[in-house]
Amino acid sequence: MQNFYITTPIYYVNDKPHIGHAYTSIVADTMARFHRMLGKNVYFLTGTDEHGQKVASTAHKNNMSPQEFADLNSDKFRHMSNAFKLTNDDFIRTTEVRHKNAAQSFWDKLMDNGFIYMSSYSGWYSVRDEAFYQESELVNGIAPTGAPVEWVEEPSYFFALSKFEQKLLEFYENNPDFIWPKSRKNEVINFVKSGLKDLSISRTTFDWGVKVPNDEKHVMYVWLDALTNYISALGYPNLNAEKIHAFWPACVHLVGKDILRFHAVYWPAFLMAADLPLPVQVVAHGWWTNEGQKISKSLGNVIDPYELADFYGLDQMRYFMLREVPFGQDGNYSKLSATRRVNSELANNIGNLTQRTLSMVHKNLGGIVPNKYEGHEIHRQIAEITQEYFELFENHLFHEAIECIVNIGNLANSYIDEMAPWKLKKENPQMMETVLYHLLDAIKVIAVLLQPITPASSHKIINMLGIETDNIDFNLLTYNLISGSNLPENYIVFNKIAEEGLSE
């Protein structure tokens, strides 16, 4: 069986989860589900990033120890995973012993291989970004991300990043799909081409971090510590550990565009330095804005993912997030656009198709799956669209893959209007059965293709078609509904949401 390892970034515990975190996790969960449905052995990892100056100072402001504060907020992320029914196989915390040991062993390996040296750092640091900036990168005295910076001068260990400039460029050249999307790949390549400076990888002015082996005055730079989570969760440094063996290198590191550089430049360089294979792909998504505005605490427009899930329903929220934005680009959340999406595509198109078809089967055939007396053009058309869905999904074009599903819904709805099965009941009952059979089959295909995106609703639809299985995979696409079997008398999915009062 093919193995597939996918990760989310680990979330900083200086805050509770917001829409951005929920988005990253939901996209990763959708990809994990998709690959499971293809029959792969999937390992899906998420967790929390708990060290560093940002967490330490927020804990301090809240009159808590960093550990207490990290415990409190890490739980909130774990809760999000459970509440949103994410299918992660593990949840790693960087304060766990297994992780700290792995990070220290990783450090030792970089040291033994001659890529770490002692010197002193003086330069700009942004606590908010947990990143070092060069003078030339600052814009009017602040980081290019808009974050404040402070001057730091302290003894520090360095990682010889400059030694990897050529190797990284060769790697990007030989692995053209390593960075997705292509537009961001060029940004990364230009950054590397502009020259890599050695990276400061330890701090001495605070102590909330993984201790540097044999030099306890230093804690590791939080990004070196954090990135290691992807292998510590698999059992590093034991390279014979079952999970490392099966799942490293990762197939996809899913990240937001803001942290692409850490994953596409620093992480591969660290891995090369530690003689470990490199991940197959780093996939970067865009950012959400709220009603057109950047989301920030100071603007008070942070979106609570629990409120969205309560208001729209969990599946509907997932659908909106994946459908609304061309994946990789920034997206805007507005109550009106989310409501319209859910109403027009889930309730009107797919929900109505299901309801119309099943009520006809109940009314005209006593709820029994009809015979398919002949093939129909619609079957071929759906197979073609399904093929397209797979290609788009594999290329992370989720919004277009979902559009394929909507197109199948449109096709089936027009087929009903065109064939008018209610008229056929008297004129040609066999044809009516054939038409209803093809419609039930179209609904099955829609439910299966939607499964990675709207798992609970898809499952419900599959059950409505009389298929009793908890294991919905893509083999169901070619499964023939059993003529003569009884269908349950329940066919409501995707309720409509009131649009009144929502502004343009």
- Tell me the torsion sign for CA atoms 365, 370, 375, 381: positive
Q: Does 75 bind ligand MSP (CB under 6 A)?
A: no
Per CB under 6 A, the list member of 5, 9, 199, 201 interacting with ligand MSP is 9
Alpha carbons 404 and 396: distance in angstroms, whole number? 14
Piece of 3-11, 159-167, 186-194, 477-485 that binds ligand MSP (CB under 6 A): 3-11
202 vs 364 by CB, closer to ligand MSP: 202
Q: Does 20 bind ligand MSP (CB under 6 A)?
A: yes
Q: In terms of Cα–Cα distance, which of 312, 349, 319, 254 is closest to 451?
A: 319
**Are the beta carbons of 413 and 443 closer than 8 angstroms?**
no
20 vs 370 by CB, closer to ligand MSP: 20
Q: Under rule CB under 6 A, which residues in 270-309 are in contact with ligand MSP?
A: 287-288, 295
The terminus-to-terminus CA distance of the chain in angstroms comes to: 49
Q: Does 49 bind ligand MSP (CB under 6 A)?
A: yes
Alpha carbons 50 and 10: distance in angstroms, whole number? 9
CB of 46 to ligand MSP, least distance (A): 10
CB of 330 to ligand MSP, least distance (A): 8
Q: Does 256 bind ligand MSP (CB under 6 A)?
A: yes
CB of 12 to ligand MSP, least distance (A): 4
Alpha carbons 76 and 80: distance in angstroms, whole number? 6
48 vs 343 by CB, closer to ligand MSP: 48
Q: Does 327 bind ligand MSP (CB under 6 A)?
A: no
CB of 335 to ligand MSP, least distance (A): 17
Q: Does 226 bind ligand MSP (CB under 6 A)?
A: yes
94 vs 458 by CB, closer to ligand MSP: 94
Q: Does 58 bind ligand MSP (CB under 6 A)?
A: no
Per CB under 6 A, the list member of 92, 259, 314, 347 interacting with ligand MSP is 259
The label of the residue with tokens 């129909």 reads: 376
**Cβ neighbours of residue 454 closer than 8 Å, sequence gap 6 or more:** 315, 316, 318, 319, 346
CB of 264 to ligand MSP, least distance (A): 12
CB of 388 to ligand MSP, least distance (A): 27
Per CB under 6 A, the list member of 4, 5, 6, 10 interacting with ligand MSP is 10
Residue 6, CB-side half-sphere exposure with 13 Å CA sphere: 24
DSSP letter string over 106-170? Answer: HHHHHHHTT-EEEEEEEEEEETTTTEEE-GGG-BTTB-TTS---EEEEEEEEEE-GGGGHHHHHH
6 vs 448 by CB, closer to ligand MSP: 6
Where helices occur in 233-303 by DSSP H, the ranges are: 242-247, 260-261, 267-273
Alpha carbons 96 and 294: distance in angstroms, whole number? 34
Where on the chain is the footprint of ligand MSP (CB under 6 A)?
9-12, 20-21, 23-24, 49, 226-227, 229, 255-256, 258-259, 287-288, 295
